[in-house]
Structure 1
Amino acid sequence: MKTFSVILVFCFALSCMGFTKKISSNEKLDFIEIQNHKRTYIVHYPKKWDGSPIALLVALHGRFGSGSSMIKQTKFDVLSDTKGFIVVFPDGFKRSWADGRGNTPADENQINDVVFIESIVKRLIAEGSVNSKEVFLVGHSNGGFMAQRLAVEKPELWKGVVSVAAQLSVSTLKKKLNLKTKPVSIGIIAGTGDPLVPYSGGYVRDGGEILSVEDSINRWKEWNSCSDVVTKKYENYNEDNSEIKIDFFRYESCSENTQVGLIQLNGLGHSWPGETPMIPFINQGKTTKVIDGSKLVWDFMEAL
């Protein structure tokens, strides 16, 4: 009986997380066959779109998520309608990505998510809806580690990449050291109080050693041949009689007009900024309702 109750609670949680979504008239559910798996994704086209090639944002969900839950979590579909870009929400393999750290179902089954994501981007460019020079990538948590991997292995695809609650993993670092790749603009959004992905680096609960946020930024500065000249900005928010401070650091003097940026969320945890945690039974640290994480992401992209 106890086991049945746990299953009911888990199923209810998945339902609340938005794993299913009614597809609207300006969206499509599509798929690609890779490694004998049907890999699905949702494409959201802006409501006021004339059909000409425009910017694309690929948004990767976190562990236990889905494309549908990423829509609910980030509301990038709403921002897409306002700003006029296409956004695609892929589904991970068994709600996970093969980000290289080794312990997700996707990694354990040797799923080639690099090819999956690359195939989606190339398909959308080929259909004529996407400007190939305006392709962006963002990921949260497991999706953020996947975004870092894609930035290292396929930098030519992206104008900009942002990882939220994720930085460089040791596995991705090792791959980079064996690759000669072009620079790519990188942003990291990280909470200093993240209990799942330590800001100071170390080991993540779902496996794998990671660099600190500071070391990750320094690595990207080195790879992008950035100078030490940094633009700094600070914002303060009041919430529940307490202050939340955001520190912005941006290195803009890098090779091939790339940039490296850090958005440091002081005291905040692992969840997407501005939204209720999608997995309520896991402690993700301090949350906030007054910061819009999706706006922070797109502001970074628009400035590139």
Structure 2
Amino acid sequence: MKIFYIIVISSLIVSCMGLNRKLLPNEKLDSIEIQNHKRTYIVHYPKKWDGSPISLLVALHGRFGSGSTMIKQTKLDLLADLKGFIVVFPDGYKRSWADGRGNTPADENQINDIVFIESMVKRLIAEGSVNPKQVFLVGHSNGGFMAQRLAAEKPDLWKGVVSVAAQISVFTLKRKLALKSNPVSIGIIAGTDDPLVPYSGGYVRDGGEILSVEDSIQRWKEWNSCNNSVAKKTQVFKEDLADIHIDFYRYESCAENTKVGLIQLNGLGHSWPGETPMIPFIDQGKTTKVLDGSKLVWDFMESL
């Protein structure tokens, strides 16, 4: 009987997380062989696409997630249909990314996610469906740290990169300083009350030392040779008779027409803005339904 309950509970978790999601007619499941591992990813093409090269967004899930859960979590597939871009949802190794902090299964097994993601993007470009000058990247949590690493190590691949609930890790800082790579437009979306990834920096529960959000923005400003001129605005959203204040900071006078942006989610936690947390046994802090994290991400990308 105990085994039966374990199976039922596991099935419910899988169902809730979207791991059993069926592909749509305008989607395909593809794979690449990297380090003797079959690395899979879902490609979602916009419904009204005419086949010409268009923008691509790579979306990296968080720890314990998958490409399918990232679709359910973010609804970026629906936004892609509306805005007319391709979005690809890769699967991490054992639901994790080798972002360099050391404690994920991908890091522990020395998985080369840099090669995997770069190979995936170059394959889509070679197929003729993607405009190579319009390739974007977003990641959440573990995927956000991976996005920061990819921005530091492969900046020429991306027109813009956004990390959600993740900033620069000490590992990525050292890699960036060693590589002295080119500027790239960067956005960070972060909750000030994130219980998993501290806004003020320090150590993350799943391992690794990280910079604060403010220090991360300052570093990207320096690397992109931005001046101190900042455009700032605040938006107030009503939810459950309370106000949610969102601060937007944008540094637009940077080298090679790059930009650095921060969307500060005051009082909010770790979850993708607007989603229901898919891992109920982990406290992710305060959530909200009045924000659309995917729209915030694509608004930044469209401004570049």
**TM-score normalised by the chain length of structure 2:** 0.98
Match of 1:257 in 2: 257
Match of 2:166 in 1: 166
Match of 1:287 in 2: 287
CA distance in 2, matches of 1:222, 1:280: 39
Match of 2:151 in 1: 151
| 1:81 shift after superposition | 0.4
Deviations along 1:10-47, whole A, 9 cap, x unmatched?
A: 44212210012211111100000000000000000000
CA distance in 1, matches of 2:267, 2:207: 24
Match of 2:101 in 1: 101
Give the match's secondary structure for 2:59: strand
CA distance in 2, matches of 1:303, 1:102: 34
CA distance in 1, matches of 2:269, 2:170: 22
* Structure 2 residue 23 is the aligned partner of structure 1 residue 30: no
CA distance in 2, matches of 1:231, 1:10: 47
**TM-score normalised by the chain length of structure 1:** 0.98
Deviations along 1:133-164, whole A, 9 cap, x unmatched?
A: 00000000000000000000000000000000
CA distance in 1, matches of 2:214, 2:28: 39
Alpha-carbon contact 2:231-2:249 (below 8 Å) kept: yes
Q: Which amino acid aligns with 2:159?
A: K
Match of 2:269 in 1: 269
Match of 1:56 in 2: 56
Alpha-carbon contact 2:169-2:208 (below 8 Å) kept: yes
CA distance in 2, matches of 1:3, 1:171: 41
Identify unmatched segments of 5+ residues in structure 1: none
* Structure 2 residue 243 is the aligned partner of structure 1 residue 243: yes
CA distance in 2, matches of 1:10, 1:24: 25
Match of 1:138 in 2: 138
| 1:4 shift after superposition | 6.6
CA distance in 2, matches of 1:196, 1:8: 28
CA distance in 2, matches of 1:286, 1:146: 24
How many percent identity over aligned positions? 81
TM-align CA RMSD: 1.1
CA distance in 2, matches of 1:141, 1:7: 28
Alpha-carbon contact 2:183-2:223 (below 8 Å) kept: yes
Deviations along 1:79-111, whole A, 9 cap, x unmatched?
A: 000000000000000000000000000000000
Match of 1:219 in 2: 219
CA distance in 2, matches of 1:229, 1:3: 61
Q: Which amino acid aligns with 2:24?
A: S
Identify unmatched segments of 5+ residues in structure 2: none
CA distance in 1, matches of 2:183, 2:26: 34
CA distance in 1, matches of 2:250, 2:80: 24
CA distance in 2, matches of 1:25, 1:244: 38
Give the match's secondary structure for 2:194: coil
CA distance in 2, matches of 1:37, 1:140: 23
